[in-house]
Amino acid sequence: MPETMLTFARPHKAIAALLFLFVGIQCSLSGAAEDDFSELAYDDAGEFNFVRVQFDTYYGGGYGYGPWSIDFPDADINFLRGVSRLTNIRVMSEPIVLRFDDEGIFNYPFLYMLEVGQGGGLSLSPNEIDNVREYLLRGGFLLIDDFWGQRQWDNFYSAFSQVFPDREVVELKPDHEIFHVYYDIDGPQMIPALFRNDDFGEQGINFATNHAVLDDDGRVMVLINWNSDMGDGWEHTYHPSYPTRYANAAYRLGINYLVYSMTH
């Protein structure tokens, strides 16, 4: 890594106290009209922007529109709206897309990627592997969302294990701090896609789990949201056929992960 590469500041944990502006989620995003967000406090120099990871798959490139772009850009924009409305974090209004080998990732504490089990799984170059490993060890946070079933897990893990071949992927239990850092959540939630419900999962699995790769101090570097689709919860916030409770769960989880990433 070049010595001149930018790194992002890690705020002290005490800043978490400043984030508790909104108490509860009874006033849900999905109960509001889209026009209600026209006056939100967007800030070009804000603390948070949504960064989606563009990636290649084993069977195809990531350029243009591939699995990496599912739910884009509505999910990204709506999550920024949710963060602005439900916390005191200043957000930027336009989400961006970066690849792991882009040095720009070091300017952002939070990355998001999804559908990592499609197309035979991820295809990561040596530069991508080295760069994202350095990013995570410096204090970055990666949220992986919306992939289902054992086959997609195996596809994902066979490639991503190259980033940290010597670190175990551990399951996070409901009492882990990440579920209680902002909203008090009873562990992982199975958030279904549009026109599905949480009685029946996809790919033959009917429950959600969260897994993580930890650094040497026990900090979550990579949060793996398996058998759940937060992106659909954000994307379909205003869809009349998408139940409010699923969208609310998606915002609660996403904001918890974000607050954790900015305070650890």
| Contact (Cβ atoms closer than 8 angstroms) between residue 253 and residue 186 | no
pLDDT tens digits for 111-123?
999 989 888 889 9
Is residue 104, in this structure, part of any structural domain at all?
yes
Q: Is residue 1 part of a domain?
A: no
Q: How far apart are CA 129 and CA 211, in angstroms?
A: 20
Query: Residue 69: its pLDDT value, please?
Result: 84
Q: What is the pLDDT of residues 178-226, one digit of tens each?
A: 999 999 999 999 898 775 666 655 556 778 899 999 999 999 999 999 9
Closest by Cα among 108, 97, 117 to 224? 117
Predicted TM-score (pTM) of this structure: 0.84
What is the overall mean pLDDT for the chain? Answer: 83
Burial, 43: exposed, middle or buried (Cβ in 10 Å; 0-12, 13-18, 19+)?
A: middle
Q: What CA–CA distance (Å, rounded) separates 129 from 150?
A: 23
Q: Would you say residue 220 lies in a domain?
A: yes
Query: Quick one: pLDDT at residue 196?
Result: 64
Per-range mean pLDDT, top range of 5-14, 35-44, 128-137, 194-203: 128-137
Number of domains in the chain: 1
| Domain housing 256 | 49-263
- Give a yes or no: residue 256 inside a domain: yes
Would you call 122 exposed, middle or buried from its count of C-beta atoms within 10 A (0-12, 13-18, 19+)? buried
User: Does any domain span residue 134?
Assistant: yes
- pLDDT value at residue 29: 56
Amino acid present at 83? V
**Is 185 or 3 the better-scoring residue by pLDDT?**
185
Query: Tokens in use for 6?
Result: 């930018």
pLDDT above 90 as % of the chain: 59
Query: Residue 42: pLDDT band by 50, 70, 90 thresholds?
Result: low
Please check whether residue 34 lies inside any domain of the structure.
no
Within a domain: 150: yes
User: What pLDDT band is residue 28 in, cutting at 50, 70 and 90?
Assistant: low
In a domain, 87, yes or no: yes
Query: What is the C-alpha separation between 175 and 165, in angstroms, rounded?
Result: 27
pLDDT of residue 206: 72
Q: Where are the alpha helices (DSSP H) in 87-208?
A: 126-137, 149-160
CATH code for the domain of 222: 3.40.50.12140
Q: Does the structure show a pLDDT above 50 at 14?
A: no
